[in-house]
């Protein structure tokens, strides 16, 4: 099926972020919005226990006996309930008294609901634990993952990890939603022909706005390398399963479609009309990791293959037509996002402003050829272990454009310890819009050792939160906005025309790459890139890509010359090592850019699961005299 990129905004033009070549925005794109007023405040959480020892959560700390969290206990904020005045979160309770004390149920990772309007629940708490004390028989087969808490639009159910918390006829936030009325149902995906076993691996689940369909990702292992595909399926309640594990009531994911077709157009491929040439198709449906859906239910959002080399962005694709929109284009890294109820805005957790990724991606307009083997590496440098460099960024529908690169929601403050813009407090996943589009909730974690202190040049900071808590949940209110709620969404079709129906038991497909050989990649407006692709000795994967640019230009103004060569190998399942040699220049349109490695090259080994930077040699990008250098090892 032929697909084209929807050129509806600057993010799709490729000339749309700091240090990009200057050019006009795509036709019909309005002027970027002016910054708008934002009020940021913190939402309440349970009190902090001094330790995880049983009974450490005393009546003095919590007179109501409704639990405590730890100083460094993990949490994750989620989405708003339909009432617009409460938001879901997952916290880890510690220090509960032993049974039969009524407070003994406030232990472990649990779903809570937090008030956002300054009111309280009937017991006087500004938060309510939904899953604490749920009887075992109401949670038979409950799965361990408890993350990404997302309410259904009916307000009576919440997707949490690979479970659905269901309060029957009662809204989750209502006083009538008590533990005995609450059920926790596991979610299962059939992955064997006879429907035996525990089911397929599900991760990063996202509920579709129709309350019926579910998007998710699943890891693959191919040729000793970790990969993943994204899927869309329909949730079907199964009250009495006769196959698979477990046999208690559960939700089955049925009519599953893999959001990928190996026979379809690929991001970088051999031109079928010219076998000696490559072509780059920015409209290819290269769904990497599914991130969610538009509020009208028509689009799926995802991290896709780069449009520009080393620049990781988020895209949206129409589930019916396959039309693709590039939502972000800044050279920094973006991952967690949420589209506004009216569809006109994106809130993104992005590293922009930190310069974390600029040594790799600041030089714009380089076609994503070496990215065939470097994407896992370039995306993994965004973090320093548990320290992220994300901040919440508000971006209009037309995306990064010229000097416009969105508005940081928490820009106000003095930057000192505990301030809303304290750089030691980093955004996590996922930011979420309120139902009326007038507020965004997000959560942050304070940098802790070894991501600060000791050998790390970033000094550690003492938490100013109650009890020294190292996590916090924030709300950014867009005070000048009028409510603009999302439309009610009818159930969508199970069919995704550009996807492929999943057949249980079939192996995942390979992501196609151009065969080994030497190719020409023509610039859209002139010049060429000569690309040499060499496979590994076993012939299974690309091992080296070498590119020579000669007057390469896609816009007729900005011209790239020079060479780049990258080799990649995988010492283990999640570890990638690259040997990178770059000597590139870009000139024109008021921009002078270089991307250069040291004479001995840049050599990086990084684990995609831990994100600890460990390199020898240097890779430096310079834009109009400003140098962007790589992070120090271990930072």
* Same domain, residue pair 267 and 390: yes
Q: Count how many domains the chain has.
A: 2
What's 22's DSSP letter?
P
* Same domain, residue pair 423 and 533: no
What is d(CA 477, CA 474) in angstroms, rounded to the nearest whole number?
A: 10
Predicted confidence at residue 5, as pLDDT, reads 30
* Same domain, residue pair 434 and 560: no
Among 458, 484, 504, where does a domain finish? 458
| CB-neighbour burial class of residue 137 (10 A; exposed 0-12, middle 13-18, buried 19+) | exposed
Whether residue 92 lies inside any domain: the answer is no
* Same domain, residue pair 445 and 558: no
- The residue segments making up the domain with residue 358 are 10-23+263-458
* Same domain, residue pair 375 and 294: yes
Secondary structure (3-state) at 467: helix
Place of tokens 């109009």: 624
The DSSP result for 140-176, as a single string, is TT--S-----EE-TTSSEEEETTEEEE-TTS-TTSTT
What is d(CA 422, CA 464) in angstroms, rounded to the nearest whole number?
A: 11
Among 415, 432, 458, where does a domain finish? 458
The DSSP result for 30-67, as a single string, is PPPPPP--EEEEEPP-PPBPSSSSTT-S-TTT-TT---
Whether residue 168 lies inside any domain: the answer is no
Secondary structure (3-state) at 374: helix
Beta-carbon count within 10 A of 118 CB: 10
Whether residue 204 lies inside any domain: the answer is no
| H-run or E-run covering 359 | helix 358-361
Q: Is the pTM of this model over 0.85?
A: yes
Whether residue 555 lies inside any domain: the answer is yes
Whether residue 601 lies inside any domain: the answer is yes
* Same domain, residue pair 414 and 524: no
Whether residue 494 lies inside any domain: the answer is no
Q: Are strands 183-189 and 250-258 parallel, antiparallel or unpaired?
A: parallel
What does residue 179 show for φ and ψ, rounded to 5 degrees? -55, -40
Beta-carbon count within 10 A of 465 CB: 17
Among 391, 423, 458, where does a domain finish? 458
Predicted confidence at residue 27, as pLDDT, reads 56
Q: Rounded to 10 degrees, what is the CA torsion of 79, 82, 84, 90?
A: -30
Beta-carbon count within 10 A of 506 CB: 12
* Same domain, residue pair 443 and 533: no
The DSSP result for 230-282, as a single string, is EEEEEEEEESS-SSSS--SSEEEEEEEEES--TTS--SEEEETTEEEEEEE-T
* Same domain, residue pair 325 and 428: yes
* Same domain, residue pair 316 and 419: yes
Predicted confidence at residue 159, as pLDDT, reads 98
* Same domain, residue pair 454 and 522: no
Whether residue 47 lies inside any domain: the answer is no
User: Could you report the average pLDDT of every consecutive run of 10 residues in the chain (635 residues)?
Assistant: 33 43 53 96 97 96 96 90 97 95 95 97 97 96 93 98 97 96 98 96 97 97 83 98 95 98 93 96 93 98 96 97 96 96 97 96 97 95 90 96 94 94 94 98 93 85 95 98 96 97 94 96 98 93 97 97 96 93 97 98 94 95 98 90
Token pair for 500: 């492929």
Predicted confidence at residue 10, as pLDDT, reads 60
Predicted confidence at residue 449, as pLDDT, reads 87
Whether residue 473 lies inside any domain: the answer is no
Residue 566: asked if its preceding bond is cis (omega within 30°), the reply is no
* Same domain, residue pair 380 and 525: no
* Same domain, residue pair 525 and 445: no
* Strands (DSSP E) found in 523-617: 526-535, 542-553, 559-569, 575-588, 591-597, 602-607, 615-616
What is d(CA 465, CA 34) in angstroms, rounded to the nearest whole number?
A: 33
């Amino acid at each position: 099926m032929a697909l084209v990129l929807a050129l509806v905004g600057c993010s799709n033009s490729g000339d749309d972020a700091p240090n990009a070549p200057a050019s006009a925005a795509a036709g019909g794109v309005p002027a970027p919005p002016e910054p708008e007023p934002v009020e940021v405040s913190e939402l309440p959480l349970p009190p902090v226990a001094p330790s995880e020892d049983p009974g450490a959560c005393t009546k003095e700390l919590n007179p109501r006996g409704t639990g405590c969290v730890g100083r460094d206990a993990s949490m994750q904020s989620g989405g708003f309930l339909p009432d617009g005045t409460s938001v879901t979160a997952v916290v880890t309770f510690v220090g509960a008294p032993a049974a039969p004390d009524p407070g003994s149920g406030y232990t472990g990772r649990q779903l809570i609901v937090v008030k956002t309007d300054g009111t309280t629940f009937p017991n006087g708490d500004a938060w309510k634990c939904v899953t604490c004390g749920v009887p075992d028989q109401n949670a038979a087969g409950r799965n361990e993952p408890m993350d990404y808490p997302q309410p259904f639009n009916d307000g009576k159910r919440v997707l949490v990890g690979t479970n659905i918390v269901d309060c029957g006829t009662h809204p989750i936030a209502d006083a009538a939603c008590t533990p005995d009325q609450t059920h926790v149902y596991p979610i299962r995906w059939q992955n064997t022909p006879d429907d035996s076993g525990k089911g397929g691996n599900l991760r990063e689940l996202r509920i579709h706005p129709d309350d019926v369909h579910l998007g998710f990702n699943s890891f693959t292992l191919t040729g000793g390398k970790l990969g993943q595909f994204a899927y869309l399926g329909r949730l079907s309640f199964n009250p009495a399963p006769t196959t698979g594990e477990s046999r208690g009531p559960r939700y089955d994911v049925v009519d599953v479609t893999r959001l990928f077709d190996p026979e379809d157009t690929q991001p970088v491929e051999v031109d079928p009309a010219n076998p000696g040439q490559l072509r780059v198709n920015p409209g290819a449906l290269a769904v990497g990791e599914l991130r969610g859906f538009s509020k009208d239910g028509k689009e799926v959002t995802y991290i896709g293959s780069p449009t520009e080399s080393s620049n990781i962005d988020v895209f949206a694709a129409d589930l019916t037509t396959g039309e693709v929109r590039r939502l972000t284009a800044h050279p920094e890294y973006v991952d967690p996002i949420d589209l506004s109820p009216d569809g006109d805005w994106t809130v993104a957790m992005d590293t922009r402003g930190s310069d974390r990724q600029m040594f790799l991606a600041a030089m714009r307009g380089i076609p994503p050829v070496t990215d065939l083997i470097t994407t896992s590496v370039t995306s993994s440098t965004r973090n320093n272990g548990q320290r992220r460099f994300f901040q919440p960024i508000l971006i209009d529908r037309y995306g990064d454009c010229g000097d416009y690169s969105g508005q940081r929601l928490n820009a106000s403050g003095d930057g000192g310890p505990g301030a809303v813009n304290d750089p030691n407090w980093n955004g996590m996943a996922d930011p979420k819009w309120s139902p009326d589009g007038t507020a965004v909730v997000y959560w942050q974690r304070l940098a802790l050792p070894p991501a600060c202190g000791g050998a790390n040049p970033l000094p550690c900071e003492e938490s100013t939160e109650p009890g020294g808590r190292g996590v916090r949940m924030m709300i950014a209110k867009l005070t000048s906005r009028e409510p603009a709620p999302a439309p009610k969404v009818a159930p969508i079709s199970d069919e995704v025309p550009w996807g492929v129906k999943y057949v249980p038991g079939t192996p995942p497909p390979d992501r196609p790459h151009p065969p080994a050989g030497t190719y020409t990649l023509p610039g859209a407006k002139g010049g060429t890139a000569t690309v040499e692709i060499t496979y590994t000795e076993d012939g299974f994967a690309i091992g080296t890509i070498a590119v020579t640019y000669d007057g390469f230009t896609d816009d007729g103004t900005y011209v790239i010359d020079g060479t780049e060569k990258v080799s990649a190998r995988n010492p283990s399942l999640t570890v990638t090592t690259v040997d990178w040699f770059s000597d590139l220049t870009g000139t024109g349109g008021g921009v002078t850019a270089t991307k250069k490695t040291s004479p001995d090259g840049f050599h990086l080994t990084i684990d995609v699961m831990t994100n600890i930077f460990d390199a020898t040699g240097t890779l430096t990008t310079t834009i109009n005299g400003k140098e962007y250098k790589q992070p120090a090892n271990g930072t």
